[in-house]
Chain A
Amino acid sequence: MNFDVDFILTTLPAFIAAVGVTLQVGLIAIGTSLCVALINATIAVFKVPVLRSLVRLYVELARNTPLLIQLFFIYFALPSIGIRISGFASAIIAMTFLGGAYLTEILRAGVEAVPKAQIESGLSIGLSRWQLLRHVILPQAGILSLPALFANFVFLLKETTVVSAVAVPEILYTTKNYIALYYKTYEMLAVMTGLCVLLFVPLSLLLRLVERRLQHGQFGS
């Protein structure tokens, strides 16, 4: 078995671009999911009547269905009713749909974990509900949720491989493409594995560090 290192080197630019795409999709999805989650968390805190139930419905639908189906629906089904969305955009929308639901749950748990005493102190110095949210609840909920949030960010980044199914040129798609074109299966699989390890192992270690650090900072948990 000869390992064609030269070939690998010629493909590197494409792979670097692919990593860029992975990061783009991932980071944008994280950002948009976070926005969705913040809105939902606010709705939950203010207990807005109708929207509250809609948020619950959304969360259940998004968390109990696979990303692949969500993606296929947006990319393949919507065109038949006139909405045509590019692979990249479909990827972002689908991942936001999924990510938003996960992050919503995390923020909701974080908000609930803020001790009641905090809210009562805030109210007794006359804060309005918006001020309470902004200055007391969200900051503390944020810190409490940080490990879980971070874990989900890593999860979303890993899920970007799924969007290869709609021809978004991230790592997996690029690998498959090159295998199909040049039959250099070993080499391409090796590169893909190597890239995944390089990308995700440090993140996983970082996550563990964050978890440990924040657990020491929390009292009573």
Chain B
Amino acid sequence: MASSGLELLWVSAPQLLTGIGRTLGISALAIVFSSVGGVAYGILRNLGIRWVDRVLLVYLEAFRAIPVLVWLYLFFFALPIFLGWSISGFWCAVLVLSLWGISETGEVVRGALLSIPRGQREAGLAIGLGLPGLYGRVLLPQALRRMTPPMINVFTRLIKTSSLAVLIGVVDVIKIGQQIIERTYESVLIYGFLFLFFFFVCYPLSAASRVLERRRSHS
């Protein structure tokens, strides 16, 4: 008979760690892609080129209208058929979460850029800066501070949403937890552990975001 209680957690640690690695791996990759892609999106929408803005708006609305889980299924089921690609659940999750993340972080970046007084842009142009210089040296550095707290919030949501990967078959920490439950029936313990796992990953981030936001509104 399998051990129970904290002993069980201890014994299953290696498997759980593999699962944690996969869950956090999906999140980490999605966070990296979203950050880079989001800055690109934010700048592109800020440039004021009509057709670019329209395309990006459609992209944004598509990810806002269709829930992430539906996108996960769409990509997971449809990609193999449409493009002949066979994609693992892991990479499918990374892809979908990144695409969704880019639209969310992109809006954060865009909002931050919009909040910078117009005079800054003009002062930069007046000393002869071109677009790369203007964004790189004047606008983005100022946007960075404003966008950090909301960005962190998007990252927290990415981490929570990565839990959905289990539904397309990814063997992440949830799946492994479920496997342990099948053997030991310790559902309260395991689901409790999973609950606390996500809490202790996400809470520090959201707390940090609040601290940063408070600090900014005082300076």
Indicate whether A and B are direct neighbours in the complex (CB within 8 Å).
yes
- Residues of chain A at the chain B interface (Cβ within 8 Å): 60-61, 63-70, 72-73, 76-81, 158-159, 161-162, 164-165, 172, 175-176, 179, 185-186, 189, 192-193, 196-197, 200-201, 204
Among the stretches B13-21, B114-122, B125-133, B159-167, the one at the interface with A is B159-167
Whether B174 and A69, one on each chain, are in contact in the complex, defined by CB atoms closer than 8 angstroms, is yes
How far is B58's CA from A204's CA once the two chains are assembled, in angstroms? Answer: 13
Whether A204 and B206, one on each chain, are in contact in the complex, defined by CB atoms closer than 8 angstroms, is no
State which of B65, B73, B195 has its C-beta within 8 Å of the C-beta of A176: B73
How far is B188's CA from A80's CA once the two chains are assembled, in angstroms? Answer: 7
Known: A69-B194, A161-B67, A204-B64. A179 touches B163 (CB 8 A): no
Question: Which label, helix, strand, loop or mixed, suits the secondary structure of the A interface?
Answer: helix
- Counting chain A CB atoms within 10 Å of each CB, which of B73, B160, B181, B199 scores highest? B73
Chain B residue with Cβ nearest A68: B163
State which of A70, A175, A179, A196 has its C-beta within 8 Å of the C-beta of B195: A70
How many chain B residues sit at the interface, stated as a range, is 20 to 34
How many whole Å from A76's CB to the nearest CB in chain B?
5
Chain A residue numbers with a CB within 8 Å of B195 are: 65, 69-70, 73
Query: Is B10 among interface residues, defined by CB-CB distance under 8 A?
Result: no
Chain B residue numbers with a CB within 8 Å of A204 are: 61, 64-65
Whether B65 and A197, one on each chain, are in contact in the complex, defined by CB atoms closer than 8 angstroms, is yes
A-B contact count (CB 8 A): 100
How many whole Å from B82's CB to the nearest CB in chain A?
9
Whether A179 and B77, one on each chain, are in contact in the complex, defined by CB atoms closer than 8 angstroms, is yes
How far is B188's CA from A176's CA once the two chains are assembled, in angstroms? Answer: 28
Chain A residue numbers with a CB within 8 Å of B59 are: none
Whether B191 and A200, one on each chain, are in contact in the complex, defined by CB atoms closer than 8 angstroms, is no
How far is B201's CA from A66's CA once the two chains are assembled, in angstroms? Answer: 11
Chain B residue numbers with a CB within 8 Å of A197 are: 65-66
State which of B181, B185, B198 has its C-beta within 8 Å of the C-beta of A69: B198
Whether A201 and B65, one on each chain, are in contact in the complex, defined by CB atoms closer than 8 angstroms, is yes
Chain B residue with Cβ nearest A202: B65
How many whole Å from B16's CB to the nearest CB in chain A?
14
Chain A residue with Cβ nearest B80: A185
Known: A70-B195, A179-B77. A64 touches B70 (CB 8 A): no
Query: Is B74 among interface residues, defined by CB-CB distance under 8 A?
Result: yes
9 contacts between A and B (CB under 8 A): A60-B203, A65-B198, A66-B198, A68-B166, A172-B70, A185-B77, A189-B77, A192-B70, A196-B70
How far is B188's CA from A175's CA once the two chains are assembled, in angstroms? Answer: 30
174-209 of chain B: CB within 8 A of chain A? 174, 181, 185, 187-188, 190-192, 194-195, 198-199, 202-203, 206
How far is B109's CA from A205's CA once the two chains are assembled, in angstroms? Answer: 22
Chain B residue numbers with a CB within 8 Å of A61 are: 199
- Counting chain B CB atoms within 10 Å of each CB, which of A68, A162, A193 scores highest? A68
Whether A189 and B74, one on each chain, are in contact in the complex, defined by CB atoms closer than 8 angstroms, is yes
How far is B63's CA from A200's CA once the two chains are assembled, in angstroms? Answer: 11
Query: Is B81 among interface residues, defined by CB-CB distance under 8 A?
Result: yes
How many whole Å from A169's CB to the nearest CB in chain B?
15
Chain B residue numbers with a CB within 8 Å of A72 are: 174, 191, 194
Chain B residue numbers with a CB within 8 Å of A159 are: 67
Chain A residue numbers with a CB within 8 Å of B78 are: 185-186, 189
- Counting chain B CB atoms within 10 Å of each CB, which of A73, A165, A175 scores highest? A73
Known: A172-B73, A204-B61. A162 touches B81 (CB 8 A): no
How many whole Å from A102's CB to the nearest CB in chain B?
12
Chain B residue numbers with a CB within 8 Å of A79 are: 187
Whether B65 and A63, one on each chain, are in contact in the complex, defined by CB atoms closer than 8 angstroms, is no
Whether B202 and A64, one on each chain, are in contact in the complex, defined by CB atoms closer than 8 angstroms, is yes
Known: A61-B199, A69-B194, A200-B64. A77 touches B187 (CB 8 A): yes
Query: Is B156 among interface residues, defined by CB-CB distance under 8 A?
Result: yes
Q: Ordered nearest first, which 8 A-B pairs have the shortest CB separation?
A: A64-B202, A66-B163, A66-B160, A77-B187, A77-B191, A200-B65, A158-B67, A73-B191
